[in-house]
Amino acid sequence: MFFRKSSSFFDGTGGGATEARVPAAYARQVPWVPGIGDIFADFSADSTFGRFEFHDWAKDQWTVLFGHPQANSAVCATEIAEFAAAQDDFDRRNVRLLGVTQSDIQTESAWIADIEGTFDVSVVFPVVADEGGKLARLMGMFHPNSVRPLPVRKTFILDETMRIRAIFEYPNAIGRSTHEILRVIDGM
């Protein structure tokens, strides 16, 4: 059967004639994915600023953590440049920026240097190397039934206690808006 009831959606408390069906493949148990209200996991990784300990770096400040599918793509480059151009806006709000990209540190460092030259910006926030995609998986950036191996673009807004306050997801071809992210931060 293609569609079936999922026990995660139906606990018997709703009653009535309302019923929903999900594709059978989606109705299985899935691993934990960070959600609004959760404490974001701590991690260590190499970054464009050296070895990186996330909670130590982010404590006591709000953080925008954004994941990219890969280095050296046009959409990812314009996003990094847009975040760099808006750095003063984030600083005024006491918000740190952190990128996560599926590439090795040498590729990331060269890519960031290229972005700085091409867009005439200074990237003063770290970008974490996630060559094997471990952080992308932790962040829930891969759909379990995806036919493409690239993760989606995902953004987390975290408060000073590492609690997730907002999450955005975008398809690979659509870039994020720093204006929208700042609007959401201002609303909190």
Task: Provide the annotated active-site residues.
Answer: 76
Three-state secondary structure call for residue 120:
coil
* Phi, psi (degrees; rounded to nearest 5) at 121: -130, 165
* Phi, psi (degrees; rounded to nearest 5) at 169: -130, 140
Secondary structure string (H, E, C) spanning 59-78: CCCEEEEEEECCCCCHHHHH
End-to-end CA distance of the chain: 44
